[in-house]
C-alpha cells in the first residue's frame, strides 16, 4: 500500500481507526439493521486470501488460514442478526487448477473445520446443520469422509444452516440437475409436464430440505464478478449483490453490517416501487379496492399484512394512494 493511498483511506474512514469510535459506529449500524427485516439466506464469495497473503509477503496458505478465522466470526454475526442460512464459496471447480501445495493446504483446512465443527459445543447448542454443496466426488477420499461424517452428525438440526460450496460450479450444478431429471423422465418416474421451479430445486445440490433461494450475495476483495456462484438460486429472486473492498481475512463485522444495510435499503426501495406500480395499474383499470390491493401486495412480495401496512405508510405510496382514490 503506497503512502498516498494510505492517507486517502485514513481520511475517508478516520473514525474506524479509533477503537472507541469504531465500536460506537458498529453498534449504531447494528441497531439500525435490527430495526428492519434481515435476509434469511446470505451467500459469500470469500475472495482475497491469496492477495492478502501476497500483500504481507507470505505464502498463499497463510492467507487461507487467516480467512478461516473470518469464517468463524461471520457465523457468530449471522447468529446475532438472526440470519438462518449461510452459504460460503470455499472451493470452486476452477480451483482444482491451483498448485498442489495450495490445494493440499485448503483440503487440510476443510478437514480441520469439519472435525472442529463436530466437536464444538456451539454447533450442537445452535442446532447448526452443516452441508456440502458441490460435486463432492471430485474431492480426495479423506476430505469426502470428513464431510460425510460432519453432515451425518448435524443431519437432524434445523435452526441454522451452513452450506459449504466445495468443488462447486454453478453451470455444472444445473447440468447435473438436468441429467438427473432426464434420467427420471426416461425411466418414467418424472413427467415433463410436472417440472416446475420447486421440482428443479430438488434435483440441484441444495435439494429440497432448505430454502435454496439466496437473498444477498456478498463478494469480498473488490472484484465485481459472481464467478459462476449460485446462478439458479440468485436468478428470479431479486437477489442483491454487495461488493466489499477488504480481502476476506480483513472482512470486519462493520463490513458485514453495511452489506446487510445495503440489502435492506434495496429491499425497501423494491417494495415501494412495486406498491406504486400496482396502484397505478389499479387506477388505470378502474379503481382501487384496498383489501384486494393489500392481499395482492402481500402475495407478490411473500410478506405479512403488517409489513404491507408499513409499506403503505411510506410517503411515496401515500401520494400514489391519494391519486388512486
- Whether the pLDDT of residue 21 is over 80: the answer is no
**DSSP assignment string, 221-254:** SS----TT--HHHHTTTT-EEEE--S-GGG--HH
Q: What is the largest CA-CA distance in the chain?
A: 69
pLDDT at residue 34 greater than cutoff 50: yes
What are the tens digits of pLDDT across the range 152-173? 999 999 999 999 999 999 999 9
Residue 167 main-chain phi, psi, to 5 deg: 55, 45
| 95 flagged as catalytic | yes
Q: Out of 47, 49, 163, 215, which one is annotated catalytic?
A: 47
For the cut 60, the answer to whether the pLDDT of residue 15 exceeds it is no
- Picking from 64, 50, 46, the residue whose alpha carbon sits closest to that of residue 104 is 64
Share of the chain above pLDDT 70, in %: 91
Q: What is the DSSP letter of 188?
A: T
pLDDT on residue 239: 87
Three-class DSSP category at 223: coil
CA–chain centroid gap for 4, Å, is 34
pLDDT digits (tens, 9 = 90+) for 253-274: 999 999 999 999 998 888 898 8
- Residue 243 pairs in a beta bridge with 219
Statement: residue 20 has pLDDT above 80: no
Residues 6+ apart with CB under 8 A from 16: 22, 25, 254
- pLDDT tens for 41-71 read 999 999 999 999 999 999 998 999 999 999 9
Retrieve residue 84's grid coordinates.
438462518
| 189-234 pLDDT, tens digit each | 999 999 998 899 899 998 877 677 899 999 999 998 888 999 999 8
237 included as an active-site residue: no
Q: Which of 2, 69, 95, 223 is catalytic?
A: 95
CB of 235 within 8 A of CB of 3? no
Region 145-154 average pLDDT: 96
pLDDT at 236 over 70: no
123 vs 166: CA distance, rounded Å = 20
The number of residues making up the chain comes to 325
The pLDDT, as a whole number, for residue 87 is: 96
Q: What is the DSSP letter of 96?
A: G
pLDDT confidence of residue 11? 47
Amino acid at each position: 500500500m503506497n503512502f498516498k493511498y494510505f492517507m486517502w483511506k485514513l481520511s475517508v474512514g478516520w473514525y474506524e481507526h479509533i477503537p472507541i469510535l469504531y465500536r460506537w459506529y458498529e453498534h449504531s449500524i447494528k441497531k439500525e439493521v435490527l430495526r428492519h427485516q434481515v435476509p434469511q439466506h446470505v451467500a459469500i464469495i470469500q475472495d482475497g486470501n491469496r492477495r492478502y497473503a501476497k500483500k504481507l509477503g507470505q505464502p498463499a496458505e497463510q492467507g487461507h488460514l487467516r480467512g478461516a478465522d473470518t469464517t468463524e466470526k461471520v457465523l457468530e454475526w449471522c447468529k446475532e442478526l438472526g440470519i438462518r442460512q449461510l452459504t460460503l464459496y470455499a472451493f470452486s471447480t476452477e480451483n482444482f487448477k491451483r498448485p498442489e501445495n495450495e490445494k493440499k493446504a485448503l483440503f487440510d483446512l476443510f478437514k480441520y473445520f469439519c472435525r472442529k465443527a463436530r466437536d464444538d459445543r456451539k454447533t450442537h447448542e445452535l442446532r447448526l446443520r452443516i452441508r456440502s454443496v458441490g460435486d463432492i466426488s471430485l474431492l480426495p477420499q479423506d476430505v469426502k469422509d470428513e464431510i460425510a461424517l460432519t453432515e451425518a452428525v448435524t443431519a437432524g438440526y434445523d435452526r441454522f444452516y451452513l452450506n459449504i460450496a466445495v468443488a462447486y460450479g454453478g453451470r455444472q450444478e444445473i447440468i447435473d440437475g438436468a441429467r438427473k431429471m432426464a434420467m427420471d423422465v426416461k425411466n418414467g418416474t418424472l413427467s415433463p409436464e410436472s417440472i416446475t421451479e420447486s421440482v428443479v430445486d430438488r434435483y440441484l445440490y441444495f435439494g429440497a430440505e432448505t430454502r435454496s433461494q439466496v437473498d444477498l450475495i456478498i463478494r469480498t476483495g473488490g472484484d465485481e464478478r459472481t464467478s459462476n456462484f449460485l446462478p439458479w438460486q440468485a436468478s428470479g429472486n431479486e437477489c442483491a449483490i454487495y461488493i466489499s473492498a477488504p480481502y476476506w481475512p480483513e472482512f470486519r463485522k462493520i463490513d458485514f453490517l453495511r452489506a446487510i444495510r445495503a440489502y435492506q435499503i434495496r429491499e425497501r426501495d423494491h417494495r415501494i416501487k412495486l406498491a406504486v406500480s400496482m396502484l397505478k395499474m389499479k387506477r388505470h383499470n378502474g379503481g382501487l379496492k384496498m383489501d384486494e390491493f393489500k392481499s395482492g401486495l402481500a402475495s407478490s412480495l411473500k410478506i405479512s399484512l403488517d409489513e404491507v401496512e408499513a409499506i403503505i405508510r411510506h410517503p411515496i405510496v401515500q401520494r400514489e394512494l391519494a391519486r388512486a382514490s
